């Protein structure tokens, strides 16, 4: 039978941790790329927004689907489809922080590994700069149909451009424009491509830390890395830094960033310089205080990450190949992906192959996706890599450090940990990465910082044992590590210990003992451990294993034994033992732990080997049979989520059935039984089993006719604006959230009741939109329902309240020719194929109809769209059409009574959450239980787009969906909101041609029952300012000083206390941010955020932000703003001090077009305030001037106090046009703000 199954495991990942929001393997402060020589660092513009205020992204997928992802400052995300070539939107899934959009057709290719899952991971694509604003193409790696492992490099697929051959993995890097992606997708479906990966962007992720790992003890023995070569693959190096003088023997640039003449691999970002100095810096700029781990080693510098701190996988692989060719003993890679790898990705394959062909040891960062398990990325997932996690200076786990085990096979990753918090090392000239200390040093956090500690340790060990292979170096570093009181998944064997590694003590050859994946009926498997005694005395070792698996069934220890638990090793001798695991005598699952050899006479010295293995679980078949509400075999989706492992399987029903083969375990199973209509889904019936124990083959059967309706009623009449249905299951640290049904075009929702979960939570949420009807129709005194649905937006009926009705039947040309429809309401029935409605609409327009009502010819729901049509056109259901015909038959001269409106003047945005699926429910909305938002949607130009959305986040969910609504003009709307168990975010797209630009949004916030809030969108007097957001302090929102660094982040458009937006350089807008100290420029940035380093002494500062609207801007107002804040600042005693930047809000009584009457004077209120965290001196005084000729001349607007801290300016009368404003405000402490807004509001009619 036809079926499609999707099954894979996705690691948990924490999204948008403030310390690593835009640099996946970089530490705190890593958001700023290169700075100019003056010392400022300007942040990149990754999309609409900033790290401090949130981002919105449009993404084109390989299948041609276009989707939107919004990421709020606190990490919560919302996603929806913009364009779907197949007509069916992708399934949106949130799994532990990553949102995926999965088109049905792509599912089997992802399951089989033909397509890289990252191609559909919206979170990864957006963060990594693959969104549509950032680039118009998509870089890919392709393998021939016979797959990786074959060294032959394939030809470039049709519609792509070949970039680089990668013989180490038998692949070709290509680039496909997003317009040509469909040709690659066609080749995938045709089988002419063996595998497609995203050519992913890979990002960069000492005084106390070097002694922490015991390096000084090695130095005392003359071991400082002399004679060893370490290749650092990163963002390059600063050739002028004193700590690296004479340390680098070779450098090469693999990126697209040009180097200065005569120099190679120059670092303009700062990460690579910091890493290189941690490996082998001399500490010259600090008098030796900040010396690296192996200052005697030679360095090779491979620039594989660009000036923005990221690079493509083919750059990385080429750099690895070069490092091996140059004879590097060790390769240090403080870089990686933000998705967990099973070690089969291109970069991991390259590490394994190059390691096998050379004696080069690759030391790689685990990643910064902790604290969740199974989050080690690529290339750290490579089997032969020595993968490194991070601890702080007290050997406590760094929360950001990625944890193992490796996804897929459960192998040990990382193998060791090292210091990675607050690491002070070299700062590249002109950069502002991390927490700057002075011109030579900066402090960073991350596994990026831990990795060079281990690379330096490896260089020291290679100096001591120049004949050792890379594998032996790795095993010695692992087995000599100091175990911490932490899980193996975090630490591997423990914190690296250089002194122990080079010491004369008993060692084991097998620091990592890998039993692999064992079949459940496999015979016993054993591994040999060999111990060496280099001392001059006999040593006795007692060997024991402490290995367990997670779970609460009491069977957590495997059948495992040490064959020779006591070894007596003579001086200079060796001895071996075998450790055996019996799979058939053990419970299936993943195990980890340590095998420890202990000398009873020296209990402080233990030799540790770390081990993990997985014992196969039985596989069973789950069959799901379903009948639709029409009694026919149903279609739909079945999601099976393993509550123990996090594995997720999706199966698609065809012909009323599907099967899934899944490992034994406990699952949450949610089934969506769809009943098909002619064009769309007529209804969704949902069923769920929160705790289904799968220990044998089983069948689930559902009949949608048994399901009960889920509906909502509102106090005021409202149309059906659609719904979203979402389920969320959480068990311990595992979670899964799925938008399971989206009901638009009138689809109905039904549920079968589910049981409560035995552990964790299982929530079912529905969100609903119900707007006021745009057209009410009465015939013969009777109101007809449901109300017609507008099909010709933004063209609405705005004619007489009464129109005669003409019935033209099925709307053929002959029927139109026989009827007099000019100036009348026309009723026509839909019939035939999908092209017919368009023909009917054209004929009605040409015949001069005033209003077209298109009736369905079937009982199911139906919608049509005739965007911007000249004739107001509405669709009605079949019963509505039959009622009109009956009324017309009774009265051939029937005149319709019409009540029309351009836009809904009220709407309901409702959310309800249940513990599990209810057995049918009607939610009754009551105004006493709701919050109210009075929204003014203003018109800043005639060309504005008019699409807004409410985004609900129910419960503790990190995934929101979009309840969108289109306007047809400016309007004041009363919005009624659910207030219990839901937070809301506002979202809007004001640009008419490029809806993915100028996104406008609000903070995510709850609304309390009974409250009323006023919000103005795109009103007058818009300028930069600091929205009322929390959680973005470290980015400079609000602007603050951190020791000797000033950080600033604010949007160019502040529409209200918590609503804001950004301009778009792509459409000609410009931004300039400048900081001056005592009148001398410190630095500048071309975006409204930056980081500036300044001297510690107190001084007077000016921060200026200028914005200019380009020709493609959506607004005729606020075309230019210039704001300068004056303040005094010195190095603070605390870690952070908010700067006293006076904020300006304005009050001006204008209409929906932001207009005031011409020929009259009027008051303008000034409301100065401070950002949160500033001790307010107050005592504001102000001056104001206005211009009515675009700044050619200015007139005073006298300012007087109005009480409660408000100042009032008297604006003189003027004729039609625009008003510009210039204001200066000073407080009692001498802080100032000067702000100019050109074309701040309109005068006269719009």
As a whole number of angstroms, the distance between CA 324 and CA 335 comes to 18
- In this structure, the strands spanning 229-234 and 330-333 are parallel
As a whole number of angstroms, the distance between CA 334 and CA 388 comes to 9
The DSSP call for residue 1033 is G
Neighbour order of strands in the sheet with 1199-1203? 1143-1147, 1162-1169, 1206-1211, 1199-1203
Catalytic position from the list 65, 116, 121, 234: 234
∠ CA(514), CA(518), CA(522), 5° rounding? 130
Phi-psi category of 871—alpha, beta or left, where left has phi over 0 and alpha has psi -120 to 50? beta
Catalytic position from the list 271, 274, 290, 440: 271
Nearest alpha carbon to residue 347 among 390, 308, 304: 304
Q: Is 449 helix (H, G, I), strand (E, B) or coil?
A: helix
Which run of H or of E encompasses 883?
Answer: helix 878-890
Cβ atoms within 10 Å of 220's Cβ, excluding its own: 10
Could you tell me the two tokens for 11? Answer: 């690691």
- Whole-angstrom CA distances from 54 to 16, 21, 948 are 10, 10, 17
As a whole number of angstroms, the distance between CA 360 and CA 470 comes to 6
Give the DSSP letter string of 814-861.
Answer: HHHHTS--TTSEEEEE--SSTTHHHHHHHHHHHTT-SEEEEE-SSSS-
Virtual torsion, Cα 109, 111, 114, 115, nearest 10 deg: 80
Which run of H or of E encompasses 879?
Answer: helix 878-890
Q: Is 323:331 a contact under the CB 8 Å cutoff?
A: yes
Cβ atoms within 10 Å of 878's Cβ, excluding its own: 16
Cβ neighbors of 956 (< 8 A, separation 6 or more) are 730
1149 catalytic, yes or no?
no
Note the helical H segments in 260-383.
271-280, 313-325, 346-356
Largest CA distance in the chain: 117
Is the sign of the CA dihedral 371, 375, 379, 385 positive or negative?
A: positive
Catalytic position from the list 209, 402, 448, 1187: 448
Q: Is 1035 helix (H, G, I), strand (E, B) or coil?
A: helix
Number of H helices, E strands in the chain: 15, 84
Cβ neighbors of 605 (< 8 A, separation 6 or more) are 505, 506, 599
927 catalytic, yes or no?
no
Could you tell me the two tokens for 376? Answer: 């080690």
Could you tell me the two tokens for 336? Answer: 């990686």
- Whole-angstrom CA distances from 953 to 766, 932, 985 are 11, 17, 8
Nearest alpha carbon to residue 568 among 605, 603, 597, 528: 597
Q: Is 906:975 a contact under the CB 8 Å cutoff?
A: yes
As a whole number of angstroms, the distance between CA 599 and CA 542 comes to 6
234 catalytic, yes or no?
yes
Q: What stretches of 537-647 adopt beta strand conformation (E)?
A: 539-548, 559-562, 566-569, 574-582, 589-599, 602-615, 619-627, 635-642
Based on its alpha-carbon atoms, the radius of gyration of the chain, rounded to whole angstroms, reads 33
**Could you tell me which residues are beta bridge partners of residue 737?**
94, 728
Burial call 604-619: b when 16+ CB within 10 Å, e when fewer:
eebbbbbbbbbbbbee
**Cα–chain-centroid distance for residue 1067?**
25
Could you tell me the two tokens for 212? Answer: 């922490």
As a whole number of angstroms, the distance between CA 1013 and CA 934 comes to 6
User: Known catalytic residues?
Assistant: 234, 271, 448
């Amino acid at each position: 039978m036809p079926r499609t199954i999707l099954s894979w495991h996705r690691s948990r990942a924490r999204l948008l941790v403030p310390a690593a929001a835009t640099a996946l393997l970089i530490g705190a402060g890593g958001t700023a790329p290169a700075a100019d020589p003056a010392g400022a660092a300007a942040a990149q513009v990754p999309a609409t927004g900033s790290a401090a205020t949130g981002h919105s992204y449009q993404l084109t997928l390989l299948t041609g689907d276009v989707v939107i992802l919004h990421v709020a400052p606190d990490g919560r995300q919302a996603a929806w489809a913009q364009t779907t070539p197949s007509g069916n939107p992708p399934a949106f899934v949130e799994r532990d922080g990553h949102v995926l959009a999965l088109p049905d057709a792509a599912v089997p290719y992802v399951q089989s590994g033909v397509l890289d899952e990252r191609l559909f991971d919206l979170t990864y694509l957006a963060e990594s700069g693959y969104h549509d604003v950032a680039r118009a193409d998509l870089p890919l790696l392709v393998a021939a149909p016979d797959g990786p492992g074959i060294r032959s490099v394939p030809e470039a697929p049709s519609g792509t451009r070949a970039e680089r051959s990668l013989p180490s993995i038998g692949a070709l890097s290509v680039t496909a424009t997003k317009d040509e992606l469909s040709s690659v997708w066609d080749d995938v479906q045709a089988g002419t491509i063996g595998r497609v990966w995203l050519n992913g962007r890979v990002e960069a992720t000492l005084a106390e830390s070097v002694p922490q790992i015991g390096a000084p003890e090695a130095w005392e023995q003359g071991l400082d890395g002399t004679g060893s070569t370490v290749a650092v693959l990163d963002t390059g190096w600063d050739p002028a830094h004193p700590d690296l003088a004479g340390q680098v023997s070779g450098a090469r640039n693999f990126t697209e960033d040009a180097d200065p003449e005569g120099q190679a691999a120059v670092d303009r970002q700062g990460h690579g310089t910091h890493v290189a100095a941690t490996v082998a810096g001399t500490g010259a700029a600090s008098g030796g205080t900040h010396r690296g781990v192996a200052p005697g080693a030679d360095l090779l510098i491979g620039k594989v990450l660009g000036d923005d701190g990221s690079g493509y996988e083919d750059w990385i692989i080429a750099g690895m190949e070069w490092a091996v060719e140059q004879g590097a003993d060790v390769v240090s890679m403080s870089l990686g992906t933000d998705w967990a790898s099973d070690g089969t990705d291109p970069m991991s394959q390259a590490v394994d192959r190059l390691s096998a062909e050379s004696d080069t040891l690759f030391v790689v960062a685990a990643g910064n996706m902790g604290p969740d398990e199974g989050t080690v990325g690529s290339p750290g997932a490579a089997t032969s890599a020595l993968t490194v996690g991070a601890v702080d200076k007290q050997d406590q786990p760094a929360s950001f450090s990625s944890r193992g085990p490796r996804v897929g096979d459960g192998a040990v990753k990382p193998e060791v940990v090292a210091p990675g918090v607050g690491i002070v090392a070299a700062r590249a000239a002109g950069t502002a990465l991390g927490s700057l200390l002075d011109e030579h040093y900066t402090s960073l956090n991350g596994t990026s910082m831990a990795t060079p500690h281990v690379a330096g340790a490896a260089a020291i060990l290679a100096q001591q044992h120049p004949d050792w292979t890379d594998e032996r170096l790795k095993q010695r570093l692992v087995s000599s590590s100091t175990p911490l009181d932490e899980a193996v998944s975090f630490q591997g064997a423990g914190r690296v210990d250089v002194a122990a590694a080079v010491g004369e003590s008993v060692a084991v050859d097998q620091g990592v003992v890998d039993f692999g994946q064992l079949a459940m009926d496999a015979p016993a498997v054993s591994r040999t451990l060999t111990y060496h005694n280099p001392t001059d005395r006999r040593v006795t070792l007692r060997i024991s294993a402490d290995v367990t698996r997670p779970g609460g069934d009491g069977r957590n220890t495997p059948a495992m034994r040490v064959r020779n638990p006591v070894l007596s090793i003579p001086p200079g001798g060796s001895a071996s033992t075998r450790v055996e695991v019996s799979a058939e005598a053990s419970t299936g699952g993943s195990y980890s732990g340590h095998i420890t050899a202990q000398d009873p006479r020296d209990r402080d010295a233990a030799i540790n080997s770390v081990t993990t293995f997985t014992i196969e679980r039985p596989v069973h078949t789950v069959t799901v049979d379903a009948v639709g509400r029409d009694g026919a075999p149903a279609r739909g989706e079945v999601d099976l989520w393993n509550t123990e492992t996090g594995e997720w399987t999706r199966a698609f029903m065809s012909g009323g059935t599907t099967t899934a083969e899944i490992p034994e375990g406990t699952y949450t199973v949610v089934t969506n039984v769809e009943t098909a209509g002619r064009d769309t889904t007529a209804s969704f019936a949902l069923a769920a089993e929160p705790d289904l124990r799968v220990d044998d083959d089983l069948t689930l059967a559902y009949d949608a006719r048994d399901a009960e309706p889920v509906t909502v009623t509102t106090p005021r009449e409202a149309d059906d604006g659609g719904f979203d249905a979402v389920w969320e299951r959480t068990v311990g640290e595992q979670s899964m959230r799925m938008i399971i049904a989206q009901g638009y075009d009138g689809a109905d929702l039904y549920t079968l009741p589910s049981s409560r979960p035995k552990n964790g939570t299982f929530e079912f949420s529905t969100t609903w939109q119900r707007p006021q009807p745009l057209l009410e129709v009465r015939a013969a005194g009777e109101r007809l329902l449901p109300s017609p649905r507008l099909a010709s937006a933004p063209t609405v009926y705005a004619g007489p309240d009464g129109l005669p009705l003409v019935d033209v039947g099925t709307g053929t040309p002959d029927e139109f020719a026989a009827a007099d429809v000019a100036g009348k309401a026309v009723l026509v029935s839909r019939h035939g194929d999908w092209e017919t409605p368009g023909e009917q609409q054209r004929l009605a327009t040409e015949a001069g109809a005033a209003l077209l009502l298109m009736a369905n010819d079937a009982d199911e729901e139906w919608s049509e769209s005739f965007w911007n049509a000249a004739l107001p056109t509405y669709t009605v259901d079949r019963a509505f059409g039959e009622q009109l015909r009956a009324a017309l038959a009774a009265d051939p001269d029937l005149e319709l009574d019409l009540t029309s409106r351009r836009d809904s003047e009220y709407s309901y945005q409702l959310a309800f959450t249940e513990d599990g699926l209810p057995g049918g429910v009607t939610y009754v909305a009551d105004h006493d239980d709701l919050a109210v938002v009075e929204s003014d949607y203003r018109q800043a130009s005639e060309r504005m787009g008019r699409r807004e959305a409410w985004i609900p986040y129910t419960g503790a969910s990190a995934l929101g969906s979009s309840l969108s609504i289109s306007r047809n003009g400016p309007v004041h709307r009363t919005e009624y909101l659910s207030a219990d168990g839901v937070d809301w975010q506002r979202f809007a797209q004001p640009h008419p041609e490029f809806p993915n630009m100028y996104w406008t949004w609000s903070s995510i916030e709850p609304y309390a029952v009974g409250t009323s809030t006023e919000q103005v969108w795109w009103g007058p007097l818009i300028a930069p300012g600091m929205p009322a957001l929390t959680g973005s302090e470290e980015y400079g929102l609000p602007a603050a000083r951190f020791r000797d660094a000033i950080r600033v982040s604010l949007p160019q458009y502040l529409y209200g206390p918590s609503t804001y937006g950004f301009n778009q350089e792509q459409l000609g807008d410009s931004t300039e941010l400048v900081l001056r100290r005592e009148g001398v420029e410190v630095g500048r940035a071309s975006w409204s955020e930056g980081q500036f380093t300044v001297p510690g002494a107190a001084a007077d500062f000016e921060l200026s932000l200028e914005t200019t609207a380009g020709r493609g801007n959506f607004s005729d107002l606020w075309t230019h703003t210039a704001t300068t804040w004056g303040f005094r600042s010195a190095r603070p005693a605390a870690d952070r001090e908010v700067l006293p930047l006076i904020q300006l809000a304005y009050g001006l009584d204008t209409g929906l077009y932001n207009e005031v009457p011409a020929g009259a004077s009027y008051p303008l209120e000034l409301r100065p305030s401070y950002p949160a965290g500033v001790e307010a001196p107050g005592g504001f005084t102000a001056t104001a001037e206005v211009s009515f000729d675009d700044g050619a001349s200015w007139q005073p607007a006298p300012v007087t106090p109005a009480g409660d801290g408000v100042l009032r300016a008297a604006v003189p009368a003027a004729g039609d046009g625009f008003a510009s404003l210039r204001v200066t405000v000073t407080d009692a402490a001498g802080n100032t703000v000067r702000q100019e807004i050109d074309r701040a509001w309109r005068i006269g009619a719009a």
